[in-house]
Amino acid sequence: MKKVKFIYNPYSGENTIIGNIDKVIKIHQKYGYEVIPYRISYEHSIIEALKGVNKTYKYILIAGGDGTIDEAVNQMKNLDLNIPIAILPVGTANDFAKFIGVPEDVEEACERILNSKPKKLDLGKINDKYFLNVASTGLFTDVSQRTDVNLKNTIGKLAYYIKGLEQLASLRKLKIKVTSENYVFDDYMYLMMVFNGQTAGNLKFAYKAELDDGMLDVIIIKAGMIKDMIALFIKMFKGEHLEGTEGLVYFKSNRIEVECHEDIVTDIDGERGPDFPLVIECIKEGIQVLGTNIS
């Protein structure tokens, strides 16, 4: 019988996966798969979940949000474990899963996964860590890290927005230098986002991004007048194209270097990222994913 490792985070989102575990096993058994589950928690990590997993497993099924998926991918890379992954998007933030078209309904997602073939997709890398969706720094980038876990689980995405509004009062210019092969930004900014995916907080910022072009999409919001910032954010929230927008830099690159001496952190899909200086690059076809609608 074919084996699948099923790693699930019972605390993700609104604990959705808890009521769907039997469906996951039932559907896989219908297709001739043996499901080996592992429940991760503060006491039981993804590192432990991956012990014993090897190429005899058809794939690793991960139920959680973007942070859980990133952690699983990082540990797989550390173990040189190159088998496909599949995602059940049951977290507070599921930006990457939505981008690749995984249904939110667990039963529908399992059917999609089991009737698909692995697709090689790009993977972001920031220093010695990997990311699937977005790496960022500046305003709002530590919102998820500072948001209480219980608050996230209780009111979901609203918790992020509440915490983000608190930061507006401390809006300050941040000096940063970003160097790529074809472009250099050496100035003050409010926020920088480097996308492998397209969205952050369900807002489509990197509308040009593709997951198989070997490139990352870099967006920098330059420090400027508050009135310009408001107009820019309105366009972002509406999902409008941003070319020619005052105060915004948007370019593609497969590798950038970032220098910053400000007291700010980096963020990888809601989790703390590495310290400066940074080397951020795209690993073309760095991961195999099942269940995607990307052709």
Q: What is the DSSP string of 19-43?
A: GGHHHHHHHHHHTTEEEEEEE--SS
How high is the pLDDT of residue 271? 86
Residues near 64 by beta carbon (within 8 Å), at least 6 away in sequence: 7, 8, 9, 12, 17, 40, 72, 88, 90, 91
Q: Name the nearest CA neighbour of 263 among 129, 130, 141.
A: 141
C-alpha separations of 151 from 13, 92, 102, 144, 284 in Å: 11, 11, 26, 11, 37
Longest dimension (CA), the chain: 62
Domains in the chain (CATH in brackets) are: 2-116 (3.40.50.10330), 130-284 (2.60.200.40)
Q: What is the pTM of this model?
A: 0.88
Residues near 202 by beta carbon (within 8 Å), at least 6 away in sequence: 93, 95, 98, 157
The one-letter amino acid at 15: N
Q: How many helices (H) and strands (E) does the chain have?
A: 9, 17
What is the token pair recorded at 164?
């983000």
What is the token pair recorded at 73?
């991918």
Q: Name the nearest CA neighbour of 284 among 244, 243, 255.
A: 255
pLDDT averages per 10-residue partition of the chain, 295 residues: 95 87 98 98 95 96 94 97 97 90 97 98 98 89 52 43 49 91 95 92 84 96 74 69 77 97 90 95 98 90
Residues near 227 by beta carbon (within 8 Å), at least 6 away in sequence: none
The answer to whether 75 and 46 are in contact (CB under 8 A) is yes
